[in-house]
Chain A
């Protein structure tokens, strides 16, 4: 790692002030993406602003018809939350499928979303539920938030403070895990909330998480695996690498969408 200076604010406001003063700084949440990248010297922030002492950033609550999760909430806490499991079990499936137990004990929802790794799980849940990402400055709809591989609508000096997930009547996540890394080779989140039907895919697209409009259209008649029986998506625009070809990923999107729908409607 290159050297850096280190700050440990205790509130989100302090963190934002530090970020304004240190334009080359990075925010440190769980650190399980950032620290490995810094070890490889692929990132060289001048400073790290550690959010882990900002207690105002963590927590899970049911607010009206939404589940509101603080940005610093760990994957294990969301996966095991009784509030989440009761109100929106499909959402609990997502952090429960991330990495391994030790990683889930440390990694955070805000970190995952801000990083927008094309193989990360949480972006699929956000897009697949039509979540709202709340920052220290504004609210951003998930549809506008994820702008491409490792890129988001976040501006300089902007910190995610919480994520609001509307409670969908039916929702589920299905993932084909890379056996070594645990990352999603492909992951599909499906949900139905009134007439709002969403199918969001992570891991597959060369531009990050995306929605499958053709599947969503077909599911409007009936929210069931049968409605998209035999449907596929084109391989163009899919990732192709040593792990899987674009054609294979495109195929998995259909398979996993049907499995997720089966889970959501079980």
Chain B
């Protein structure tokens, strides 16, 4: 089986994998980083969003072998320490931006990408448009939108 090497959450990792292994499978099954979820498996729901070289992508639609040499960040890699939350995570907690939590890792990774592209002062319309690629089946999105706005502001501090 071919070998792949990449950096995940700042740590170099390698694995011998089948060619057809998806990035999300590699993260979950080989690295046991199960915070990245598989919802639809058809690149629509966004539960699998991770950052590839700093850019949000759907890891259910990337092959792990394509990530040779890349730097991947998952939900496990964003908090500053084991006892602290990232400001965006904290904002989701504060604003009750989740119910079952299944979509939350993808929501947060997408939210960070929105901040990267659109800055820290986000209006509701922008957030709703930009969350087009993430589906939540519990919250009705209202508190997620509030959380993203609050998290984006908190990240500027």
Residue from B2, B20, B132 in contact with A1 in the complex, judged by beta carbons closer than 8 Å: B20
Q: State the majority secondary structure of interface residues on A.
A: loop
Residue from B19, B22, B43, B57 in contact with A4 in the complex, judged by beta carbons closer than 8 Å: B19
Chain A residues within 8 Å of B65, by CB: 6, 8, 50
Chain A residues within 8 Å of B15, by CB: none
Which residue of the partner chain A has the closest CB to B65?
Answer: A6
Number of contact residues on B: which range applies? 20 to 34
Can you list, as one digit per residue, whether each of B90-117 has a CB less than 8 Å from chain A (1) or not (0)? 0000000000000000000010011001
Contact yes or no, A101 B110, CB < 8 A: yes
Beyond the given A1-B20, A35-B63, please list 4 additional residue pairs across the A-B interface where CB-CB is below 8 A. A2-B20, A101-B130, A102-B43, A102-B113
Closest CB of chain B to A39's CB: distance in Å? 7
Closest CB of chain A to B133's CB: distance in Å? 3
Contact yes or no, A39 B41, CB < 8 A: yes
Known: A3-B18, A4-B19, A35-B63. A102 touches B42 (CB 8 A): no
Contact yes or no, B61 A3, CB < 8 A: no
Chain B residues within 8 Å of A181, by CB: 44
Chain A residues within 8 Å of B139, by CB: none
Asked whether any CB of chain B lies closer than 8 Å to the CB of A195, the reply is no
Chain B residues within 8 Å of A52, by CB: 66
Count of A-B residue pairs with CB < 8 Å: 77
Chain B residues within 8 Å of A101, by CB: 56, 110, 113-114, 117, 130, 132-133
Q: Which residues in chain B, 1-58, are within 8 Å of chain A measured between CB atoms?
A: 2, 18-20, 22, 41-44, 46, 49, 55-58
Asked whether any CB of chain B lies closer than 8 Å to the CB of A99, the reply is yes
Asked whether any CB of chain B lies closer than 8 Å to the CB of A9, the reply is no
Which residue of the partner chain A has the closest CB to B68?
Answer: A8
Chain A residues within 8 Å of B122, by CB: none
Binding site for B on A (CB under 8 A): 1-6, 8, 28, 31-32, 35-36, 38-39, 48, 50, 52, 99-103, 105-106, 180-182
Contact yes or no, B58 A106, CB < 8 A: yes
Residue from A1, A8, A106 in contact with B62 in the complex, judged by beta carbons closer than 8 Å: A106
Contact yes or no, B133 A103, CB < 8 A: yes
Chain B residues within 8 Å of A1, by CB: 20
Contact yes or no, B61 A100, CB < 8 A: no
Contact yes or no, B19 A106, CB < 8 A: no
Residue from B19, B41, B63, B110 in contact with A102 in the complex, judged by beta carbons closer than 8 Å: B110
CB-defined A-B contacts under 8 Å, sample of 26: A1-B20, A3-B20, A6-B2, A28-B63, A31-B61, A31-B63, A31-B66, A38-B20, A39-B42, A48-B63, A50-B65, A50-B66, A99-B133, A100-B46, A100-B134, A101-B56, A101-B113, A101-B117, A101-B132, A102-B46, A102-B58, A102-B133, A103-B133, A105-B56, A106-B61, A181-B44
Contact yes or no, A31 B62, CB < 8 A: yes
Known: A36-B42, A102-B110, A182-B132. A3 touches B19 (CB 8 A): yes
Contact yes or no, A35 B18, CB < 8 A: no
Most buried by A among B42, B43, B57, B110: B43
Contact yes or no, B56 A102, CB < 8 A: yes
Contact yes or no, A102 B2, CB < 8 A: no
Contact yes or no, B46 A6, CB < 8 A: no
Q: Which residues in chain B, 56-86, are within 8 Å of chain A measured between CB atoms?
A: 56-58, 61-63, 65-66, 68
